[in-house]
Amino acid sequence: MPDDTDTELRDTIGRAVDTHAMTVVDDPLDAIEQRVARRRHRRHLVIGGSIAAVLVTAVAVAGALAMSDGDNEPRVVVSPTTTLPEPLFTEAVETMPKPPLAVRGDAAVVWNGAELVVWGGRVDVLNMGLEGEDRTYDDGASFDPATRTWRKLSASPLPATDDTPIGAPTASGVVIASGSNVAAWDSDANTWRSFDDAPSPVHDLAVDGDLALSYSANATLDLTTGTWTGLPRPPIELDRSASAWTGRELIVIGGPSTPFRSAVGVALDPQTRQWRRIADLPRDMFAEALAVDWDGTRIVAANYDMEAATYDPDSDRWTKLPSVPARFYEWYPAVRSAGDFTAVVMGQAVVILSADNTWVPLPSANLPWGPIATAQSNFRTQADHGVLFVWETDGDQNALHAIHIDRLIEQPSEIQVGTFTLALPDGWSIRSTQYDESNEFAQTVRVTIGSGADECRLASGPTATVGRESVTIDDSRNGLNWRRNAASTRWLAEFSTTDTVTVDCDTSRDARAMVKGVAPPGSG
């Protein structure tokens, strides 16, 4: 039952709401109906996608596509606003209903602005710890976040092959490549259309209006005629590559198969059909396990060495970022941008790049997926309008998770420092991060947080100390062993000899309230 204070508040606030309840539009119902009609016209996604990333923002206009709808004049369709439902994802982390597909890794997973489409894939029983024989799949399903439902795709003309399928969004659905076989799926009709075979297996795909682009096939596909046209050879060959579509160019970066060589890159302009070599990546950015995405104004690249950089195509310049502060998470990364945020996903780590180029490591304990055995085949990510979708293979099933990044970083209350979850005090924010691997056996993540003149320096790594004046605290809170330095404000929490965190604040603070828990990799 509401108490007197409650009733008083409701009355007071209610009266204030009433004084603001003034509208100007004469017929709101008519105004809303007109909006619905306008949204229906804008529904289909137009922008091209990169091999593994799709970006849609509420107002981005990546270009206009002239489409013929059969009998009528060509109509211009501009990029849509997102159709993601906001209250459906009020939880910061949610697992969606199970997909109606047999478990598989290495599927093509494509977000087209309205649906997440999954197609193909395979089971490698040894790596996935499953029974039976290795097998491949040629079926798929589509997830609609608006209704939180899956539907099976109709039978496709694409064969299941050992090549990892890849896809990109189109105005009416998706285009999928399985080896050299390529077909487009229409969402409204749930039908497929085959195209000519690509000149070589397709490992990357982007769509620019009516044209699909592929570095690996070194050709373009006309989506209206279904025919491939070869491209000139790029200025350098990239053995391992990752690519992103900027809306004007296909940027491809990678390197030779020799390990530990710095990555290089090329860019394709589909209008001129010419490749250009772009500036080389910073020296530490090895081509090994690189991932990239386009955030609307720049390319963001990260590799499994925790190195990261951005590229501005206008100035042809790379800018090194601070290393990604994710300790022990040396999985093949994914980089996903949705305008408002860019996420680097590595195994159990999700680290967000904020607008001022500060990294915000999200708490791993809140992420719904467990240790990743082989992230490259078992992980797929997409992002749109504040939500990061993560498709994963977990044992004998697949799962689709939605991580509401914009809610988690709007006012982060918890962050991940190494393997520890820490609570940020109210009004505090991250000031800087550092990934220190100067000692390869003692990699350390450092995060400085602060509010006004007050700061705390956090560091997670193995075998730390708090100094000679240490006092051991008999406190089993969160299963950790605690020590503090009696002469200063420095605290240390130890989970094991390889998982420690130190908390060093300018003003005296009980660090035990800040350290919420520990999630070492492999702990499940």
Partner 1 sequence: MTADEEIAASVRAQYTRLVGVVSMVTGSSHLAEEAVQEAFARAWERARKGYEFEHLAGWVATVALNQARSGRRRAASERAARARLAPAVDTSSDPDVALVVRAALEGLPGRQRDAVVLYYLVDLDVATTARVLHVSDGTVKTALSRAREKLAPLLRAAELEA
Residues in contact with partner 1 by CB under 8 A are: 5-6, 8-10, 12-25, 28-29, 31-33, 35-36, 39-40, 57-59, 83, 85-87, 90-91, 144, 146-147, 407, 410-411, 413
Residues with Cβ within 8 Å of 232's Cβ and at least 6 positions away in sequence, in order, are 273, 274, 275
State which residue, 42 or 193, has the beta carbon closest to partner 1. Answer: 42
Q: Are 184 and 146 in contact (CB under 8 A)?
A: no
DSSP SS3 for 52: coil
State which residue, 8 or 475, has the beta carbon closest to partner 1. Answer: 8
State which residue, 20 or 468, has the beta carbon closest to partner 1. Answer: 20
State which residue, 28 or 259, has the beta carbon closest to partner 1. Answer: 28
Sign of the dihedral through C-alpha 513, 514, 517, 520: negative
Q: How far is the CB of 89 from partner 1 (least distance, A)?
A: 9
State which residue, 36 or 453, has the beta carbon closest to partner 1. Answer: 36
Longest dimension (CA), the chain: 84
Q: Are 267 and 250 in contact (CB under 8 A)?
A: yes
Q: How far is the CB of 6 from partner 1 (least distance, A)?
A: 7
Tokens for 128, please give them: 């996935």
State which residue, 219 or 409, has the beta carbon closest to partner 1. Answer: 409
Tokens for 495, please give them: 């989970």
Q: How far is the CB of 507 from partner 1 (least distance, A)?
A: 23
Q: How far is the CB of 451 from partner 1 (least distance, A)?
A: 15
Amino acid at 72: N
The structure tokens 């690996």 sit at 216
Q: How far is the CB of 15 from partner 1 (least distance, A)?
A: 7
State which residue, 330 or 414, has the beta carbon closest to partner 1. Answer: 414
Q: How far is the CB of 78 from partner 1 (least distance, A)?
A: 13
State which residue, 354 or 413, has the beta carbon closest to partner 1. Answer: 413
Burial annotation 134-170 (CB, 10 A radius, 16+ → b, else e): eebbbbbbbbebeeeebeebeebebebbebbbbbbbb
Q: How far is the CB of 174 from partner 1 (least distance, A)?
A: 20
d(CA 122, CA 130): 12
Q: Are 490 and 500 in contact (CB under 8 A)?
A: no
Give the rounded distance of the alpha carbon of 412 from its chain centre.
18
State which residue, 31 or 471, has the beta carbon closest to partner 1. Answer: 31
Q: How far is the CB of 23 from partner 1 (least distance, A)?
A: 5
Q: How far is the CB of 425 from partner 1 (least distance, A)?
A: 13
Q: How far is the CB of 111 from partner 1 (least distance, A)?
A: 18
Q: How far is the CB of 95 from partner 1 (least distance, A)?
A: 13
Burial of 57 (0-12, 13-18, 19+ CB in 10 A): buried
Give the rounded distance of the alpha carbon of 197 from its chain centre.
30
- What is each CA distance from 256 to 71, 241, 277, 286, in whole angstroms? 50, 9, 15, 10
Query: What single string gives the DSSP state of each residue in 117-139?
Result: EEEEEEE-HHHHT-SS--EEEEE
State which residue, 16 or 155, has the beta carbon closest to partner 1. Answer: 16
Q: Phi and psi of 7, rounded to 5°? A: -60, -40
State which residue, 94 or 186, has the beta carbon closest to partner 1. Answer: 94
Question: How many Cβ atoms sit within 10 Å of the Cβ of residue 92?
Answer: 14
State which residue, 83 or 216, has the beta carbon closest to partner 1. Answer: 83
Tokens for 326, please give them: 């994710």
H/E segment holding residue 7: helix 4-20
d(CA 276, CA 482): 56
Q: How far is the CB of 146 from partner 1 (least distance, A)?
A: 5
d(CA 40, CA 452): 48
